[in-house]
Structure 1
């Protein structure tokens, strides 16, 4: 994969930090205007946020990327992988024109629709943001590229990871202590008092999990926005969505996702809180993001928010998302609170708590890809752990310190978030950093992939995971209850489409040993396949390419037969859920990052360097190091060559290596190129079936 676009902006080395003028965020949602229903007007209504004295404004500073250890922190580690001669195209799941072509809350086509950005499925076009900036082709994610270096750093601290009790670790709670440090009113998005937890989301873990309708209710009056028939409603609602290879149990991280709209969206036209009105407005948000609006939906939200326009691909101002990112506990399915109260292998311990709030209106259609500038400063506040993503949202994040307690993320760490959750803004505002991917809708991933209707308004459960209490530590630990939902455009299941094109479990194109064993068991001549599932062969480039091509074709046969599904149509558990022993070892590797605080060197740590980061090309497809030195077969890919022919060209010093994903190669012949992938599920919901 590639960088997020060709860079043209030059930053003066003589003025590397600019003090911000301060964002006018003085009173809760007052900066968002009365339109969003921030504080409500009927103080006598129970649950209203009480009037408060003026709070200090959220103030940040604009910080040059040149001050970071990694000036290209917005380019994820996955973007540096090889594609096995084009047989593994994970690129399409970020770098697409599809959402842009729909005009659906994304102004960043990345598969050739913009000449300036280029085609990020076909070229490793990493480009420096100035002639004097460090090269962008260097892979700085050393924890992922060279995990043994991380192990050495841990040993240098006098720590022995083998002595860690990882099961005990993942079952310790570290969210409550962080939430307790949040100032102000939990019903307000802004804590309104300066401090490191000012923008910690007002979602109390003591109120979780959500009830069966997805709403988070509480018995604590100070956290209840209004009362409904079931109790005190916090306004938060859980979102259940179809995952793919970013945060799945096999990647070592699983998510909970919660959305909250401003209080005007919770009130009826008389100004009284009303659950039916709020449910309808949440439904309209879902339909707007999923491009399912019809004339019957009208042009505005309902109730007290009736003056708010309903716009395709856009959230209303004041929308909040809370995203706890959990460790994986394969014994956690929500049935035993002593293990974890959360479903879907979500451990009690969180790796991070992430938060987004839309603080201003932004129309993506007002700005085009030709205005994209990635070298601009990042605007945010390191002590408070937030950044402005440049297209209307504040992003904040809280990550484990060396002792496992949550702390605010630093600006370089938060820039990793901007790399996915952003878009293109005009460059006349000096502080607005622009980046992002082509597959988000209004800077977000989840709502597009939400299961339609009631199935999606519930705790994230990773396809209805049920733990198997009899499973041995090395066995598949449980099963799914849901199947593989069809992608709206592709006409086949989302997981099937992912497996057909990535032939791996994650965006690294890796295949965990447990899945290898499962495929070896399932894909056999005796079961009607063309051959047995072959093990990868790195003897030489030709043999590696041939075996990978065989694996791709066998995988496509495997999914076309529906063999990725269990007999009842649910997704086969082995493809989603790692054995307990594997999950605990993945947690042990990640805890090394925690112990060393080396987050800016990569959060994804494998037992050894993934094959997709090794040089396995033939002479005919060769490229060199940045300095022109040839690669040896099997060497780690630390960097790539760049364009040096003409210093007058805009592409000078930009990456010039093809990914080997061939747009002309048809799918039937092993092609994977797909410039128009969209992350939307078919509606009504359709599921893959066994054949």
Structure 2
């Protein structure tokens, strides 16, 4: 096996282009709030205390149920790279990279650096350590009134501290919320056409026939295993283009022109351009070429990440899609460089320094974008994220750069288009221009139901959720399933209903029984898909697969608040009631995983670190991960195979 850089592919120290910004290694922040150039400093992630590899997500350390669970395919894919569209980071075996569906190929920064094959996500791996940290603070999480907590507003007060005009991507003021997106939460939700309008003159670009247009437009997209309400968070996603995209040829603001440009951009990002598509944008942006898989310079994306409110469905004019008022984070991306990812190829333009500003909560992703993030402090108010926390974002939202910048830390996955995840998966119709609503969630007789039919994956030719069920044994990316889902499946998947066997629990008393039970669950889930029992008669996904029960959502929020109280974000934001089953060693001795030092795991032991190559110190992959996932490259789907190297996230 050959190994090359994993997520970490370090990367780029540089000057910010075309934005009135410059870089410097001096990150001093004056106490006075004054206008200034956007500046940061460099830091090597090897110095991050507690978790030197935050760009490698906690999911990447899980077992695969002996290959029956391949959640890896949704990130580690070659599909977009082979299409030549917005991604230069293939991760399923394209030269020169390792195949992360088959191998645990964690690559350390150097032979002297801490191992990357250790699971540093203690909050997820060992939730009892988090509870111990909370208890040490003399806090009892059971006393928290979580239904009240999630309805408190912490975004508006942060927004009110942002200086300057909301229409400026960079407020220009040297203060903590400098790059908080200029999206006033008081203006939400979006109007029926997706545009966000406001009566506040500070927030608007122009007035259209419907009111003061802020330039922001809501995006509605198809979630999967990491972004459904079952995981404890719900999102709003918003996009804004520079002012010239809102103007007609005479320089006048024009809603129709702006709408055309947003539609054209969606075609470019979703690979829907045809021979008759315009080669340039409309109006005053007619000098900007339309590039497939690439956003124009100056594009902004805002992403508030909310707690889950199982009673909210948007019918009362408030926030839709199970969104609580309180946000866990407000995330932001700004494309500061005119860069098409397909101008680079794998392994180009890497370095080991992260450029950013901890006091203002932003980093450069090394691939043309600035990423900013604001997260709850111990009291629940928003604060800027540190680089150790923001490197988690670089882990997914990044890629390679050919070297037009100084080498900067880069990372990324194979499933993003120009470092973005949501817009490529948005619906290609008016349905895609509205508040994110998680397939049209509504509360009917006290239960959450979906009203938007399951979208079809354009390349796989099957339902997007069906594809997830066919390649996992858990319906999420951690290999676990909520008890409420287990209960429902046990009622549906039964021999009395025509199934080949009854739904079974995963057995962990022996390696043979573990293999038998996960194999049977895979078979039964695939029968579940073939029979379309995961769907309602109208083609919508059954609500119990997407939406948590009220008590489950509250308890999930209670566990997450332990992270907030302790500020242990560097140890993970996903907290389960107990260690997920996918972190345990249930392999037969013949295929046992081993620890860093080569000693084998015992059956039932928690896997806290994985095998690394120690045989040849002179090899390029010395101390790199060399364990195998047990996903079999040549095993046919019909025989239980799950390997899928060319997944593409596009929907019909």
Provide TM-score, normalisation by structure 2.
Answer: 0.95
Matched, 1:610 2:610: no
Alignment-derived partner of residue 359 in structure 1: 336
Q: In 2 relative to 1, CA 619–462 (structure 1 residues): closer, same or farther, beyond 3 Å? A: same
Report if aligned partners of 1:385, 1:398 keep a CA contact under 8 Å in 2: yes
Alignment-derived partner of residue 350 in structure 1: 327
Q: In 2 relative to 1, CA 658–620 (structure 1 residues): closer, same or farther, beyond 3 Å? A: same
Secondary structure, aligned partner of 2:470: helix
Q: In 2 relative to 1, CA 427–225 (structure 1 residues): closer, same or farther, beyond 3 Å? A: closer
Report if aligned partners of 2:247, 2:254 keep a CA contact under 8 Å in 1: yes
Report if aligned partners of 2:3, 2:621 keep a CA contact under 8 Å in 1: no
**Greater alpha carbon shift after TM alignment, 361-370 vs 648-657:** 361-370
CA distance in 1, matches of 2:387, 2:150: 27
Alignment-derived partner of residue 447 in structure 1: 423
CA distance in 1, matches of 2:473, 2:597: 32
CA distance in 2, matches of 1:3, 1:398: 35
Report if aligned partners of 1:23, 1:60 keep a CA contact under 8 Å in 2: no
Matched, 1:232 2:208: no
Structure 1 residue 171: deviation in Å? 0.7
Structure 1 residue 365: deviation in Å? 2.3
Alignment-derived partner of residue 48 in structure 1: none
Secondary structure, aligned partner of 1:419: helix
Q: In 2 relative to 1, CA 501–10 (structure 1 residues): closer, same or farther, beyond 3 Å? A: closer
Paired positions, count:
640
* Aligned match for 2:46, one of 59, 66, 80: 66
Deviations along 1:20-40, one digit per CA (max 9) or x if unpaired, are: 776467659x99xxxxxxxxx
Alignment-derived partner of residue 83 in structure 2: 102
Alignment-derived partner of residue 287 in structure 1: 267
**Greater alpha carbon shift after TM alignment, 357-366 vs 437-446:** 357-366
Alignment-derived partner of residue 485 in structure 1: 455
Report if aligned partners of 1:24, 1:58 keep a CA contact under 8 Å in 2: no
Gaps of 5+ in 1: 12-17, 32-53, 472-476, 683-691
Deviations along 1:4-51, one digit per CA (max 9) or x if unpaired, are: 93599899xxxxxx9x776467659x99xxxxxxxxxxxxxxxxxxxx
Gaps of 5+ in 2: 24-33
Matched, 1:160 2:140: yes
CA distance in 1, matches of 2:336, 2:406: 18
* Aligned match for 2:293, one of 313, 320, 323: 313
CA distance in 1, matches of 2:45, 2:450: 43
Alignment-derived partner of residue 395 in structure 2: 419
CA distance in 2, matches of 1:199, 1:328: 25
Alignment-derived partner of residue 37 in structure 1: none
CA distance in 1, matches of 2:339, 2:61: 31
Within a 5 Å distance, the mapping from 1:670-685 to structure 2 comes to 670-682=640-652
CA distance in 1, matches of 2:4, 2:558: 31
Matched, 1:496 2:472: no
CA distance in 2, matches of 1:66, 1:656: 21
Alignment-derived partner of residue 590 in structure 2: 620
Structure 1 residue 560: deviation in Å? 1.2
Alignment-derived partner of residue 459 in structure 1: 435
CA distance in 2, matches of 1:523, 1:284: 44
Deviations along 1:549-606, one digit per CA (max 9) or x if unpaired, are: 1001110110111111112221100000110000000000000000000000000000
CA distance in 1, matches of 2:14, 2:7: 26
CA distance in 1, matches of 2:612, 2:442: 49
Alignment-derived partner of residue 564 in structure 2: 594
Structure 1 residue 296: deviation in Å? 2.0
Within a 5 Å distance, the mapping from 1:161-310 to structure 2 comes to 161-310=141-290
- Greater RCO structure (CA 8 Å; 6+ sep): 2
Deviations along 1:284-315, one digit per CA (max 9) or x if unpaired, are: 01000000001222210011101100000000
Secondary structure, aligned partner of 1:553: helix
CA distance in 2, matches of 1:8, 1:294: 36
* Aligned match for 1:139, one of 88, 94, 119: 119
Matched, 1:400 2:368: no
Secondary structure, aligned partner of 1:297: coil
* Aligned match for 2:603, one of 633, 656, 660: 633
CA distance in 2, matches of 1:220, 1:452: 31
Structure 1 residue 505: deviation in Å? 3.0
Alignment-derived partner of residue 334 in structure 1: 314
Secondary structure, aligned partner of 1:295: coil
Q: In 2 relative to 1, CA 251–215 (structure 1 residues): closer, same or farther, beyond 3 Å? A: same
CA distance in 2, matches of 1:61, 1:216: 35
TM-align CA RMSD: 2.0
CA distance in 1, matches of 2:35, 2:283: 29
CA distance in 2, matches of 1:531, 1:8: 43
4+ runs of 1 displaced by more than 4 Å? 6-11, 24-28, 427-431
CA distance in 2, matches of 1:8, 1:418: 9
Secondary structure, aligned partner of 1:370: coil
Secondary structure, aligned partner of 2:548: coil
Report if aligned partners of 1:378, 1:431 keep a CA contact under 8 Å in 2: no
CA distance in 2, matches of 1:501, 1:257: 27
CA distance in 2, matches of 1:210, 1:362: 30
Structure 1 residue 55: deviation in Å? 4.0
CA distance in 2, matches of 1:610, 1:3: 28
Report if aligned partners of 1:250, 1:505 keep a CA contact under 8 Å in 2: no
Alignment-derived partner of residue 30 in structure 2: none
Structure 1 residue 214: deviation in Å? 0.3
Report if aligned partners of 1:377, 1:430 keep a CA contact under 8 Å in 2: no
Matched, 1:571 2:547: no
Q: In 2 relative to 1, CA 8–410 (structure 1 residues): closer, same or farther, beyond 3 Å? A: closer
* Aligned match for 1:368, one of 341, 345, 350: 345
Provide TM-score, normalisation by structure 1.
Answer: 0.90
CA distance in 1, matches of 2:10, 2:244: 44
**Greater alpha carbon shift after TM alignment, 631-640 vs 84-93:** 631-640
Secondary structure, aligned partner of 2:512: helix
Alignment-derived partner of residue 51 in structure 1: none
Alignment-derived partner of residue 57 in structure 1: 37
CA distance in 2, matches of 1:398, 1:642: 35
Structure 1 residue 334: deviation in Å? 1.2
Structure 1 residue 431: deviation in Å? 4.8
CA distance in 2, matches of 1:228, 1:674: 47
Secondary structure, aligned partner of 2:634: coil
